[in-house]
Amino acid sequence: MVVMGSIAHAHWLVEHGCDGLAVFGTTSEANSLSLLERKRLLEAIVNSGISPARLLVGNGSCAVPDAVELAKHALQIGCGNVLMLPPFYYKSVSVEGLFDFFAEFIDRAGDPRLQVYLYHIPPVAQVGFPFALIEKLRSRFSNVIAGIKDSSGDFENTRRLIAEFSDFQVFPGSEAFLLAALRLGATGCISATANVNAESMQQLFQNWHTAEADEMQSTLNCVRQTFQRYPMIAALKAVLSIANNDENWRTVRAPLSQLSDADTQILLRDLEGLAFKLPRL
C-alpha cells in the first residue's frame, strides 16, 4: 500500500506542476529507509512509467560504499541525476576530507552519465558545503558537479551561490525564496511543500517576470508559513492522509511522530482559510 501510494503521489506531482521529482530527500524520510527499500521503490517508480530523466535521486550516505551502491543502481535504471548529502555523522571535518569523500564516490561510481547535485542542509545535517569545497569539486569534476539544493534557510548564501557559480544550477530549498532567486538567475526550487502545492509554485515559475509575481509569492509564503508551524514531514503527511482518506499517509518512522489529531484539525482549518486546494491523488 505504501509503494502504491508513493507511486500515485509521484504521478500526481508530475501532473500538477513538477518538472522533476527529488525522490529520497528529507521529506520522504530517506535516511530511515534501508538501501534495499530505496532501490525497490525507485524501480517501482520508474516501472510505473515516470521517466528516469525526471528523477533526482537522493543519496544520503555516510559510507562511500553505500553511496556508490545507490548511485550505480540508479544509473542502471537510467537515473543519472543524484542529490548528495555530505557525509553527516562526523562533525568539524575539513574541506579536504569532504573533498576526498566525493572524489572517491565519483571515481568509484565511474559513469559519465552521473550528475551530482549537492544537498546543503546544515540545519539538519550540521555538515554543509562551504564555498571552498564547492570550488574545489567544480574545479576537479566540472562535468559531474551540476548544481546544489540550498536548504540553509539563508538567502544570502543562495544569492552568493548564484553570483559566484554562474554556470551552476542553484535551487533554493524553500519556495519562500523562489521569486527573489529567479530574479537573480536560479534554476527553480526544490521544496518540501511542493508535495502538496506544486501547481502554485509552477505558476510563479512560469510568470515570475510579470506584475502579478509578487502577489503569487505572497500566497506561497502564507501556505509555507502555515505548514512550518508544525513538524513539516508529519504535517504534510497528515494533509495527504485527510485529502485522500488514507490513514497510511500519516505513517512516519521513528524517531519522528505523527501530527496529533488536534494539530491536524487546526492545520486544516488554517489552510481552508487560505482557500488551499487539498492534494487529492
Q: What is the DSSP letter of 62?
A: S
- Which sequence positions are flagged as catalytic? 119, 149
State whether residue 21 is helix, strand or coil: strand
* CB-CB neighbours of 232 under 10 Å: 16
Alpha-carbon span 177 to 195, nearest angstrom? 17
Q: By C-alpha distance, which of 13, 59, 8, 23 is closest to 248?
A: 8
Task: Give the length of the chain.
Answer: 281
Question: How far lies 224's CA from each of 131, 191, 195, in Å?
Answer: 28, 10, 12
Could you count the other beta carbons within 10 Å of the beta carbon of residue 112?
A: 10
3-class SS at 89? coil
DSSP string across 143-167: TTEEEEEE-SS-HHHHHHHHHH-TT
Nearest to 172 by CA among 196, 147, 197: 147
CA–CA separation, 242 and 265 (whole Å): 10
**Sign (positive or negative) of CA dihedral 166, 143, 170, 153:** negative
DSSP assigned state of 173? S
What contacts 243, CB < 8 A, 6 or more positions away? 278, 279, 280, 281
